Amino acid sequence: MFTLGSVLDNDFKSTIEDFSFETEFSTNQLMLPNIEKPFEFAQSIIGLEKDLQENENQLMFHQQKKEERKERALIKGYKGTTTLAFIYEKGTVVAVDSRATSGQYIASQSVQKVVPVNEYMLGTLAGGAADCQFFLAHLGRICNLYELRNNEKISVAAASKLLNNILYSYRNYGLSVGSMICGYDTRGPQLYYIDSDGSRLKNSLFSVGSGSPFAYGVLDAGYRWDLSKEEALDLGRRAICAATFKDSYSGGTVKVYHIDENGWVKISDDDASELWYRYEEKEKKKK
Amino acid sequence: MDSLVGFVGKNYVLIAGDTNAGRSIMRLKDDFDKLVPIDSHKILAKSGEIGDGNQFCNLIIRNVSLYRIRNETELTTKSVAHYTRRQLATAIRKNPYSVNLLLGGYDKKDQKGSLYYLDYLGSSKKINYGAQGYAALFVGSILDRFWKEDLDFEDGLELMKKCLREVEKRLIIGTRCFLIKMINSDGISVVEKVMINSKNKNEIEEEN
């Protein structure tokens, strides 16, 4: 009888490989225990002395709250940052902060949270810095290969889908990626949100990171499709500034980028704290 | 957090879903279409994790297309439901897809609509009316009370709005905006994109 086959049937494998991007990174080769959620298992590994104590008192261990266990886990994940991007009539605006934290310690105030994928596409970093940097650089490689093979620029939708598929195959492995793929292609300004859980969303504005609720407040209040370029850049800058003011895990400098049909351009790079007081003075002068 | 409601009427199937897509407490997108067309006469309404939903629905859609290309024949709703259930069941012990689905379709051969309830654990049941998500708690009793066999389209739409009004009123997580789609012999059509504001004396504003 006729049976439904999966797409990678033997008949089709050769043709699929021509168009697929099966590299050594697309298939799972991380050595982790062969269980359903390896990262959660890893998080449950608490320090040895404490482990012995827990074994004596199994009931207490199970009654312990998930947050407490996470606190003491040997493997932790962080998502301290604020990044935002939005599309409007004339292009795409991307604004980010530049602070990296490791618990309560500020590891760096000058992190590059925007990674160029190609001349007209940018990817933002939120979550695990190493994960984001690696996968975005890899996406840049894939997009370059696509351009060479197909003699046309890859669309933002396709690039984001490629990243989405790769991240989906690693979805239970504890990667932490909250990236936005922003660009300008033949369909106009485009913006996609890609997550390490495997979600891919298309919308006109996103903000990602621990400071995102604060950024959303300013962004939602001032956003319109028909902003002028100056207004749009100012909105992005102010939203990140507001987030760095409220969120302790965001700060450093506020970097603003603009993408239009000519490609991406870095517009400004201002110290977040100075920026806040500059805005305050401006408001005072207005009065 | 996703709400899906569906029921079968006289020669049609009505399915409605909320249009929120979010992450923990934040709403990322408020015009997210959860009612994905499998082919011209079937809809897969997805709820649960966004990533799993996207990938799983893509898997089903592409395989149904492949079957159509290979065998030059469309699958019935029953076959698609069985295939989907099988995919969910084989995945549950390996890499589970956390998606709960409502599959609605119209079969030209039987000239009847049908609705299936599919679970992430691999359960599947043909139903006349049902819901997924928190909406199921509120809407279940309304549908038990008011659903009848062979409802006309106008009565059906009124019943659907009654259900959605209840979801908006009682579910503490704000879902005001719903998308209602209908499947009948002509195929899939968007009936309405409804925004419900129960403070306005139970009036519904319609956005088309």
Check pLDDT > 80 for residue A20: no
User: Higher confidence at residue A129 or residue B47?
Assistant: B47
Residue A257 φ/ψ region, left for φ over 0, alpha for ψ in the -120 to 50 degree band, beta for the rest: beta
Region A130-147 average pLDDT = 93
More confident residue, A81 or A59: A81
DSSP 8-state secondary structure symbol assigned to residue B75? P
Per-residue confidence at A101, pLDDT binned at 50, 70, 90?
A: confident
Looking at per-residue pLDDT, the higher value among A281 and A56 belongs to: A281
Residue ranges of chain B with pLDDT lower than 70?
A: 198-208
Residue A3 is predicted with a pLDDT of 40
| Residues of chain A with C-beta less than 8 angstroms from the C-beta of B54 | 164, 198-200
Which residues face B181 on adjacent strands?
Answer: B15, B190
Which residues are within 8 A (CB) of B174 and not within 5 positions of it... i.e. 6 or more apart? none
**Which residue of A4, A168, A213 is in closest CB contact with B26?**
A213
User: By the 8 A CB rule, do A117 and A104 touch?
Assistant: no
pLDDT at A18: 43
Alpha-carbon gap, residue B143 to B123, rounded angstroms: 21
The confidence score (pLDDT) of residue A37 equals: 67
**Is it the case that residue A62 has pLDDT exceeding 60?**
no
Residue A39: pLDDT band by 50, 70, 90 thresholds? low
- ipTM value for the complex: 0.83
Using the beta-carbon criterion (under 8 Å), do A201 and B67 form an inter-chain contact? no
pLDDT at A175 over 90: no
What is the model's pLDDT at position B39?
93
Chain B: residue nearest A217 by CA? B26
Position A103 scores a pLDDT of 79
Long-range contacts: B59-67, Cβ < 8 Å, 24+?
B59/B87, B60/B84, B60/B87, B61/B36, B62/A7, B63/A4, B63/A5, B63/A6, B63/A7, B64/A4, B64/B38, B64/B39, B65/B39, B66/A4, B66/A5, B66/A7, B67/A2, B67/A4
Separation CA A201–CA A115 (nearest Å)? 19
Q: Which pLDDT value is given to residue B197? A: 73
* Cβ atoms of A123 and A165 closer than 8 Å: no
pLDDT above 90: residue A11: no
Which residue from A199, A202, A216 is facing B51, i.e. has the nearest CB?
A: A199
Enumerate residues 6+ apart whose C-beta is below 8 A from B152: B9, B10
Q: Identify which of A197, A202, A212 has the shortest CB distance to residue B49.
A: A197
What confidence score (pLDDT) does residue B175 get? Answer: 81
Give me A211's structure tokens.
């400071």
Instruction: Return the residue of B nearest to A172 by Cα.
Output: B95
Indicate the average pLDDT of chain A. 81
Structure tokens at A25: 């990174």
Residue A139 reports pLDDT greater than 80: yes
What pLDDT, on a 0 to 100 scale, did the predictor assign at position B127? 97
Q: Tell me how close the Cα of B174 comes to any Cα of chain A, in angstroms.
A: 17
Q: Which residue has the higher pLDDT, A275 or A62?
A: A275
Per the CB < 8 A criterion, the answer to whether B139 and B155 are in contact is no
Of B161 and A77, the structure prediction assigns the larger pLDDT to B161
Q: How does pLDDT run across A152-161, given as a tens digit for each residue?
A: 999 999 999 9
Instruction: Establish whether A81 is a catalytic residue.
Output: yes
Identity of the amino acid at B74: E
Mean pLDDT value of segment A253-260: 96
C-alpha dihedral sign at A194, A197, A198, A199: negative
Instruction: Give residue A33's pLDDT band: very low, low, confident or very high (50, 70, 90).
Output: low
Tell me how far apart the alpha carbons of residues B112 and B126 are, in angstroms, rounded to a whole number. Answer: 13
Nearest C-alpha neighbor of A259 from the set A119, A137, A62, A55: A119
The per-residue pLDDT for B205 is 56
List beta partners, residue A206: A85
| Short-list A43, A144, A20, A127, CA closest to A79 | A127
pLDDT at position A221, please? 94
Sign of CA dihedral B63, B64, B69, B75: positive
- Per the residue annotation, which of A3, A15, A81, A82 is the catalytic one? A81
> How far apart (Å, rounded) are the C-alpha atoms in residues A221 and B66?
46
Mean predicted confidence (pLDDT) in A241-269: 95
Shortest CA gap A200–chain B (Å) = 7
Instruction: Quote the CA–CA distance of B98 and B119 in Å, as a whole number.
Output: 9
> Would you put residue B11 in left (φ > 0), alpha (ψ -120 to 50) or beta?
left
Flag if A199 and B54 touch (Cβ within 8 Å): yes
pLDDT at position A77 is 44
DSSP string, B125-171: EEESEEEESTHHHHHHHHHHHH--TT--HHHHHHHHHHHHHHHHHH-
Task: Determine the pLDDT at residue A45.
Answer: 58
The structure tokens listed for A253 are 């400098």
